[in-house]
A and B are shown apart, each in its own frame.
Chain A
């Protein structure tokens, strides 16, 4: 199984809502990533988890809160978002961080903040 799944596929939320994005993989990968992608732009790295510990936070605002409850799951908790946070949120996984390892991406969650 080389699949990374993400739920939900689409999410519409108001600026006062709290919601969560979920990512799951069963490839035994111990590195997991969140990316944000705006329309017609390349993905931008947000967070990296290695062995369930946050190893990289690319200066992401605190209204985005990642969580890695176990080696297969990665969550992104959302609170008090702004309309400019509307984007495609991509999850990826790989073997422990190494320069020659490929990342497997999920299909993404399309988030709209109203």
Chain B
């Protein structure tokens, strides 16, 4: 079965460290997205990509970066982790109809 997987599912890191969250989908979807979920803010868009070599900033992109070197993967990098980036991160993918499918989430704690 095609799917979308995130890793790691849980991570604890220290302020200032670089962190990369992986997202891999096997549906061959062109569109991929990263969201973060925080109490009181719901799900907010961080970065997104509509295809290989395409990346775009979402509403809360400061401190994050993504790269898209193939169709299957969109890793999210925190260059220098901050406590404000403690959150649950969700990756999603879709064909372009607007219907999105989400991974199981990655819980990141920055101490």
Q: Do A and B come from one complex?
A: no
Q: Which residues of A contact B (CB under 8 A)?
A: none
Q: Which residues of B contact A (CB under 8 A)?
A: none
